[in-house]
Amino acid sequence: MPRVVVVGGGFSGCGAAIAAAKAGAEVTLLERTDMLLGVASRAGETNGNGWFVARHELRLMGGGDLFQMLDSIKLHENVHFPDGGGQSYIYHAGLAEPGLRKVVEKVGVKVRYESRVIDVEKKGGRVLSIKIEDGSRVAGDSFVDCTGTRGGLSFCIKYGQGCVLCLVKCVAFGDRLGLAERAGARMVNLHRPDGTIGQLGAGICMFKDTLAPWLKQRIEKEGLVKLPMPPHLIDRTKLKLMGAGRSRDFIENVILGDIGPVAKGFGMVYMHLEKLRQIPGFENVEMENPMYSRFNHVGFVTMAVRDNSLRMEGFENLLAGGEKAGNGSVDGAIVSGYVAGHNAARIASGHEPVVLPRQVAIGDWIAFVKEKHSSEDGLVKTYPMSRGDYWERMQKAGLYTENVPEIEQRMKTAGIEGLFSRAVS
Ligand SMILES: Cc1cc2nc3c(=O)[nH]c(=O)nc-3n(C[C@H](O)[C@H](O)[C@H](O)COP(=O)(O)OP(=O)(O)OC[C@H]3O[C@@H](n4cnc5c(N)ncnc54)[C@H](O)[C@@H]3O)c2cc1C
């Protein structure tokens, strides 16, 4: 049985592990912390704009498992993000991790928690095994790096104004550490307009009970509310720090949502507590942890240079998914994770990896992100399907539609229906 090793248990790593298992591989998933889900434990927003199409495409390829799980923990429908489509919804961020475990375990993936990968054994362009912090080694026929791009500690101290004890949990579990970096793959970083490396994370979580009662009630009823930011607190310089191209609405307003365990200020790059408490409704607010009140953590550092099958440049059997491949967001991590995991199983079985055609949204998006991240000019942004440059392109190229039979027809014409549901022989 071909052996696939996936490193990193965020949405992309779980997607990769599930896809590789469905393709017939024996899969080991190594996660550095004691839980799955990675940084998406405080995400919540999903299915916006173009992601609606990508979700259907993935489902039609046989990879709908994780989106089905998210649908089952849907918390608020009909939420209207200023830059999101009518299909966006918020999932319960507190229920996603156990949901993810169930799906991953169901397809037979062997998960090893608290297993931080620290080194790689390779021969030429072939990775042979990886070394875990406890000294053990795991051998495989192909490997997928889904270690994300946030942190570690040294990056945040250097480029993010210090460690802010964020979701990456470096202090407890050690720095995020990519397989690609250890294997000597070629890497690129996003940078801000002033040239500083990395993007700042955007999103501030607050304990719901510390909001004014009227505000707590409103978000729990409506899911998402838009509150004008007092003029003296509007800081337009933050727009430039938001790599995924959030609109001005997120600077001139507080876009506050209920993601289950906490309330989340979507698109807030950072906000000092003292300032936040000047906004009506937030007078006694407490942030969930100290990560949010100073400059946020640094992301989109050390992304692997990969081709459109998501195989890393210069390697035969090393692939990347999710943010590590430049393909972030909840939906994007899942989608790209599946592509990387399926291709890892193909390579492990002695087949060539597939490149999804550009006539379908996922194929076009993977290629577009690669093109953008191949130039210094393009390395200033991320390119989700839900907003910004790719969302614009998607509409112009006719790849966006809310007509599901049209998406089905496109997949049929491309001949890739059911691709991820079949074992690779
Ligand atoms: C605060 C915040 C809010 C967000 N909100 C939204 C939102 O509402 N909607 C949306 O679409 N997107 C959102 N995003 C973006 C989205 O959550 C991410 O792009 C996506 O979840 C990334 O998934 P990933 O699997 O690529 O990486 P990660 O989630 O970062 O997962 C990487 C995993 O690898 C593990 N790992 C790292 N190094 C090692 C190692 N050496 N050995 C073993 N394991 C290792 C980590 O512990 C982690 O579990 C948000 C991001 C943040 C930070």
* 313 Cβ contact partners less than 8 Å away, ≥ 6 residues apart: 185, 186, 304, 305, 306, 307
> Residue 291: what pLDDT?
57
DSSP 212: -
Measure the CA–CA gap between 103 and 38, rounded to whole angstroms.
Answer: 16
Residue 126 CB neighbours (<10 A): 14
CATH architecture observed for domain 3-194+299-421:
3-Layer(bba) Sandwich (3.50)
| Residue 203 in contact with ligand 1 by CB distance below 6 A | yes
pLDDT at 242: 63
Q: Confirm or reject: Cβ of 96 under 6 Å from ligand 1.
A: no
| CATH 3.50.50.60 boundaries in the chain | 3-194+299-421
Question: Closest residue (by CA) to atom 50 of ligand 1?
Answer: 43
Q: Which residues contact 79 (CB under 8 A, 6 or more apart)?
A: 45, 88, 89, 90, 222, 223, 224, 257
Ligand 1 atom closest to the CA of 14, numbered from 1: 25
Distances in Å between the Cα of 30 and the Cα atoms of 9, 25, 326 are 7, 15, 21
Decide whether any atom of ligand 1 lies within 6 Å of the 257 Cβ.
no
Q: How many angstroms separate the CA atoms of 149 and 298, rounded?
A: 8
Which pTM does this prediction carry? Answer: 0.97
CB of residue 300 inside a 6 A radius of ligand 1:
no
- In a mutational test of the pocket of ligand 1, which residue from 33, 146, 147 has the highest number of ligand atoms less than 8 Å from its CB? 147
Question: Which parts of the chain have pLDDT scores under 50?
Answer: none
Amino acid identity for residue 22 in this structure: K
Residue nearest to atom 3 of ligand 1 (CA): 43
Buried-exposed string 397-406: b where 16+ CB fall within 10 A, e elsewhere:
eebbbeeeee
- pLDDT tens sequence across 157-182: 888 877 878 889 999 999 999 999 99
Residue 213: predicted pLDDT = 98
Nearest 5°: the CA angle 66, 166, 377 is 80
Confirm if 4 and 141 have CB atoms less than 8 A apart.
Answer: yes
Q: Which residue has a Cα nearest atom 7 of ligand 1?
A: 43
Q: What's the confidence (pLDDT) of residue 151?
A: 86
Residue-level pLDDT at 425: 77
375 alpha carbon – ligand 1 mean position (Å): 24
pLDDT at position 192 is 84
Identify the pLDDT of residue 295.
65
Q: What is the pLDDT of residue 160?
A: 81
User: What's the pLDDT tens digit per position in 373-417?
Assistant: 999 999 988 999 998 899 999 999 999 999 999 999 999 999 999
Paired tokens of 93: 């961020």
C-alpha distances (whole Å) from 269 to each of 128, 232, 386 are: 40, 17, 18
Contact 192, 199 (CB under 8 A): yes
For residue 420, the surrounding DSSP H or E stretch is: none
265 lines ligand 1 (CB under 6 A): no
